[in-house]
Amino acid sequence: MSLLKEMEGKALAAWKAKKFRTAVAIDGSLMSDRAMSVAAGFNYATRSDKLYILHITDASKTYLPKNLEPKHLKNKYEGQALEYHVHCEWKAAEKDQAKSTCENLMGLAHATEADMLVLGSFGRKGEKIDVLGSVSDESLRTAMCSVCVVKANGGPKPGATSTILFATDGSRSAALAFVTLVHRLRQPKDKIVVTCVRHNDAEEPEDVLAPYKAMMEEMKIEGTCSYTYLDGAEKVVDGVLRAIDAAEADCIVMGVSGRDGKALGSVATGVVLHSGVTTVIVKDPHVL
């Protein structure tokens, strides 16, 4: 049995009879609007997925305009969910000033038992080149659930067919990430492009992509599997970024760590920071 099939069996057993829960963090910014759209795009209505809209209120910010007050945000994003034909639940909590905004957000996400947290790469303070907002950066590292960081280009949209790049290194976390993608994140007509980044002179004792090809054929998923080879002094993250461009991907999905077992590998960190597309980092401590 391949590692991929082993992880599929464990994951499906852990997910049995459990709806996929997506939580989207909003603050009224333009990126929140895009994050809401992406969260709805991952919602599979016929599977009865659940969507939660999370907002951390802060009574000390008396200077905020009325359109950023909680009641206005609630109406705005519930209305947006209706436009996408997605059922949602509004969840707001007043900020505990002894904790960071991210810590407050993690508490709210945990209360909803979210499987994935979707949030913009930056908030009201605006975008910075190759830098994440403090909440998205901390969420990536501390969230127990999967995290989707939405970039300015948007990402998978409700009712649209998307091209999703999946980067694998043959690890257990990559196998789990792929199982999560094909069973919980993709829409039926989405195209999946699988790549494994290697150096030109690397030995190839096994075909890392073979199990992925087999699973895609078994599930009748449209897409391709191929290697991306590095040239000269290119790093793995460079190869992944090049593969994103070549596939014209709407988003990229990766495992939480590579073979080094770090909490958030350098490749995943580099992709989130430097890629122009929405990135999903898959975590599932109940399976791994």
In 72-190 the beta strands, taken as DSSP E runs, fall at: 88-94, 116-120, 146-150, 163-168
Would you state the pLDDT for residue 138? 85
Q: Which CATH number fits domain 3-12+156-282: 1.10.3720.10, 3.40.1280.10, 3.40.50.620, 2.60.40.420?
A: 3.40.50.620
**Token pair in block for residue 275:** 């890629």
Name residue 48's amino acid: S
Would you state the pLDDT for residue 127? 53
Asked if domains 3-12+156-282 and 17-150 share a fold, the reply is yes
Residue ranges in 3-55 assigned as alpha helix (H): 3-15, 30-42
Q: What is the DSSP string of 158-187?
A: TT---EEEEEE-S-HHHHHHHHHIIIII--
Whole-Å CA distances, 258 to 10, 74, 209: 19, 39, 16
Domain boundaries, the chain: 3-12+156-282, 17-150
Would you state the pLDDT for residue 259? 42
Would you state the pLDDT for residue 130? 45
φ, ψ for residue 123, nearest 5 deg: -115, -135
Would you state the pLDDT for residue 37? 93
Q: What is the DSSP string of 195-230?
A: EEEEETT---SS-TTHHHHHHHHHTT--EEEEEEEE
Would you state the pLDDT for residue 219? 97
Would you state the pLDDT for residue 155? 80
How many angstroms separate the CA atoms of 2 and 73, rounded? 47
Which of 234, 288, 227, 233 is CA-nearest to residue 257?
288
- Euclidean distance between the first and final Cα of the chain, in Å? 17
* CATH architecture for the domain at 17-150: 3-Layer(aba) Sandwich (3.40)
Each residue's pLDDT, cut to its tens digit, for the chain (288 residues) gives 799 999 999 999 999 878 899 999 998 988 899 999 999 999 887 778 999 999 999 888 888 888 888 999 999 999 999 999 999 999 999 999 998 888 999 999 999 999 999 998 875 555 554 446 678 888 888 888 999 999 887 788 888 899 999 999 999 999 999 999 999 999 989 999 999 998 876 656 578 999 999 999 999 999 999 999 998 888 999 999 999 999 999 999 999 764 444 456 788 888 988 899 999 999 988 787
